[in-house]
Amino acid sequence: MDHRSPLDARHPGPLDPFTAPATASFTDYVAATAPHLLPGRATAAQAAAHSAAGLDVPHGTTIVALVCADGVIIAGDRRATSGNVIAQRDIEKVFVTDSYSAVGIAGSAGIALEMVRLFTVDLEHYEKIEGVPLSLDGKANKLAGMVRQNLGAAMQGFVVVPLFVGYDTDAADASKAGRIVTYDPTGGRYDEWLGYHSVGSGSVFAKSSMKKLHDPTNDLARTIRTAVEALYDAADDDTATGGPDTVRRIYPIVVSITAEGAVRRSEEEIAAVVDQVIAGRTEKPGG
């Protein structure tokens, strides 16, 4: 494998490939100097000859995002499936990507996780080089570019659909600072102004649930409850979405982003919310 180390003898100075005055984008930089590290590209070329149909890879399922009065939250179930098999019970599909943004992923898990890792490094890289973070729309567009790069693999069946949420620290109106951005497999970027969205196999049921329950003026605690209810509804009707597992203590992952920054909510807090939801459903299974 052609792996270029910083001490490569082909360059007179070890930092030469790193010091050319160029982009603040980590992805562009890696694409120019070490393209084999980027996700999706090798997959697209190798997959071109074959269909993905015979290749059972894990798929991530349902992610929900909701705007609230203080900002925005994003939550995901913990199941990955491969055909009719549960590939993993406790996969993590929601990630804090920097101080004011987070991404949830649905679709081909391996490629999606790699994409989020690259996206996270890219945001931090820009911030370190430039001394200021990217704007919220800059981050959203950057992710759109990464999804577009994956189009070749998506055509072969390795589709990745991220859901991006962020808190716009430059927003004039603080109540509108929480934002949700969705993507299609071609890299199309869409702002969700209605205050809720969901991606993945259980998204139809989760959206119906949120349509009835969600109010963007609710406070954070109430919105977290709505997110857990929506994931419960998705798991109720979609086999690929995992419900809360009280036996193994596996609960949805919830990240909130407010003016104070992005926080992954503690397991104890989510366990308490899940207990309330289950108690409610025990009374009335339809919620």
Q: Please report, as ranges, the residues that interact with other proteins according to CB under 8 A.
A: 3, 6-7, 12-15, 18-19, 21, 26, 29-30, 33-34, 37, 117-118, 121, 124-125, 128-129, 131
Residue whose structure tokens are 């036996």: 247
191: CB partners within 8 A, 6+ apart:
179, 180, 181
Q: Report residue 273 as tokens.
A: 């919310």
Q: Which residue, 37 or 86, has its beta carbon nearer to other proteins? A: 37
User: 110, exposed or middle or buried, with CB in 10 Å at 0-12, 13-18, 19+?
Assistant: middle
User: How near is the Cβ of 29 to other proteins at its closest, in Å?
Assistant: 6
Q: Closest distance between other proteins and the C-beta of residue 156, in Å? A: 24
Nearer to other proteins, 118 or 154 (CB): 118
Residue 124 or 215 having the CB closest to other proteins: 124
CA distance 182 to 64: 11
Among candidate residues 19, 33, 43, 61, the one labeled active-site is 61
Q: Which is nearer to other proteins, 38 or 155 (CB)?
A: 38
Locate all alpha helices (DSSP H) within the chain, ordered by sequence.
Answer: 16-19, 26-33, 41-47, 109-130, 136-149, 151-155, 203-213, 220-237, 267-283
| CA 145 to chain centroid | 15
To other proteins, the closest distance from the beta carbon of 260 in angstroms equals: 15
Going 198 to 287 to 215 to 79, the CA torsion angle's sign is: negative
Give the CB-side neighbour count of residue 55, counting CA atoms within 13 A.
Answer: 14
CB of 84 to other proteins, least distance (A): 34
Nearer Cβ to other proteins, position 117 or 248?
117
- The least CB distance from residue 217 to other proteins, in Å, is 33
Active site residue 23: no
Given 3-state DSSP classes, what are the helix, strand and coil percentages for the chain, each rounded to the nearest 5?
40, 25, 35
Just list the catalytic residues.
61
